[in-house]
Structure 1
């Protein structure tokens, strides 16, 4: 790493020392170089900075998470997730065909579907399917493909073709990151296509997120906030 590169990185670290983030274009203007030069600087060694979803931030920023642990996530903010899912359950109507996304946020919903309504659930997540299969009177449509153990979900053309080929009344979408500029994001790129298919297909798109996801930016971006019809959360996502 040459002196000029080191000086630019030090300048960026100082700018981010109080937290926050910079767009790549903003970082380039701040240093008076091109975006490609900033990328080269970051690739040149351990700078203490990371580029996530087009945003430059400190590597130890809590919004940057290098890995996703499904079991650990299941128990985080469990009470909040239950309250959010109770609100989602109140939206269900007789005869609904639902899309329930993968992850842990929507698990309380899948496990508590009412037995007095005739419902069809479409999912590509094995943990969601296992919970739904225990609910009497609920028809389950599990879309399979290549299994991804990291998220207990399936990926492939079969998944997206199944979702887009069905008439879905309500899609309940989860996200690991919700940002006013960067939109909705998740940890795994294989989740992007199913999420986008559900958003494009459903009559009503509902985002369910606990407050820990607000202001976060994860690697795999899949939608804008404007693509969602309604948000179920315990805080105003527009203010994050």
Structure 2
């Protein structure tokens, strides 16, 4: 990260000029402004495999999933987006009544089927083998047949300027279809993904009713998001 003061000194320009240029670069997704300075945005061109993600940041993922599960009420229809963090929600559903769970995550669907009393729908479509999920036009089309009370959404990349993004075009329509048919949208994503920017835009952060992240998120980033009106819950591990 570089502070505004450092940039003024390095470039030999005024504070106003630096602020103007930061704003222009941020609108293009090239940098991410933080209180008192700026840092370069990091692009993501390909997601890690499901196997790689399943063993990373486990404590933080479990804590985020536990909080997300408290939002699920009996009688609801809930979308569980593909991803290892949202997948941990399943272990908290035992005993909940009259729930309809819809997911495009193959592993999550299998785990849900082991819990008695749940009505489970697996979304069909093209199988993304790396991420063990269904994506694409057919998957998005099937989601249009549901009305969700709650959609728990995942992402590989997010930040305050670009919102939720993805390196996979085939995931865009699926995520957007779930969100557009949900009364409440919640993003569940770790701090390690913040500041990453994928090739394709999914949704700005103001379309989410809440963002659940972990305690490793820098305080200055949390302050900036709060100032922008984003409702954030930080889980402790």
The question of whether the paired residues in 2 share the 8 Å contact of 1:180 and 1:237 is answered with no
Long gaps (5+) in structure 1: 1-13, 16-21, 28-52
Work out which of the residue numbers 98, 101, 105 in structure 2 matches 1:121: 101
User: Which of the numbers 110, 113, 129 marks the counterpart of 1:149?
Assistant: 129
Structure 2 match to 1:44: none
Deviation per CA, 1:71-92, whole angstroms, max 9, x where unpaired? 1111111100100111011111
1:67 aligns with 2:46: yes
1:1-29 Cα offsets, whole Å, 9 max, x none, are xxxxxxxxxxxxx99xxxxxx98x649xx
Q: Deviation string for 1:130-166 (max 9, x for gaps)?
A: 1211122111111101212122111233322221211
Query: In the aligned structure 2, how far is the partner of 1:146 from the partner of 1:84?
Result: 28
Alignment match, 1:3: none
Q: Which protein is bigger by CA-based radius of gyration?
A: 1
In 2, distance between residues paired with 1:111 and 1:170?
18
- Are 2:224 and 1:239 aligned? yes
Off by >6 Å, runs of 4+ in structure 1: none
Distance across 1 between alignment mates of 2:56 and 2:210:
23
Aligned residue pairs, count: 193
Partner of 2:161: 181
1:115, distance to aligned residue in structure 2 (A): 2.4
Deviations 1:40-73 (A, max 9, x none): xxxxxxxxxxxxx95347xxx8933443222111
2:230 is aligned to: none
TM-score normalised according to structure 2 size:
0.72
Question: 2:221 matched to 1:215?
Answer: no
Give unpaired runs (5+ residues) of structure 2: 1-9, 12-20, 32-39, 226-237
Instruction: Give CA-to-partner distance per residue, 1:74-115, whole Å, 9 cap, x none.
Output: 111110010011101111111111000012111111243222
Aligned to 2:85: 105
Q: Which has the higher contact order (CA 8 A, sep 6+)?
A: 2
1:55 to 26, 29, 53: 29
**What is the RMSD computed on CA atoms of the aligned residues?**
2.6
